[in-house]
Amino acid sequence: QVQLVESGGGLVQAGGSLRLSCAASRRTFNTNVMGWFRQAPGKEREFVAAITWDSSSTYYEDSVKGRFTISRDNAKATVYLQMNSLKPEDTAVYYCAATGPYYSGSYYNTERIYMYWGQGTQVAVSS
């Protein structure tokens, strides 16, 4: 069982930056693929980014490539999402998620593979 808690959300002006954090409750976090998803009001939850257990590979939705960076610190059992050049369309509740241990499938952008989810943190970008 893995429990996830997001933090770092808030209100920022367009063009600004924000860093989200997601802390895991136990050491098994180190063997999980981690992902970030977001959901805007009236919209479906969508994939944002993912990172493998050893940080050897990262994956991004096209709309955030070049602006967002996902990283993790296994010693701290924490995953991060650095968001730069924020746009109003980035406004959403952001969720971190974790797969089971040692996931090594061919895809990372579907919520179906993630077993554990945080409660979400609100990001609002003003124009």
Query: What pLDDT is attached to residue 26?
Result: 74
Please list the ranges in the chain whose pLDDT falls under 50: none
Burial degree of 28 (CB within 10 A; 0-12, 13-18, 19+): middle
Distance in angstroms (rounded) separating the CA atoms of residues 5 and 117: 9
**What's the half-sphere exposure (Cβ side, CA atoms, 13 Å) at 90?**
32
Query: What pLDDT is attached to residue 92?
Result: 98
Number of other CB atoms surrounding residue 39 within 10 Å: 14
Distance in angstroms (rounded) separating the CA atoms of residues 49 and 45: 13
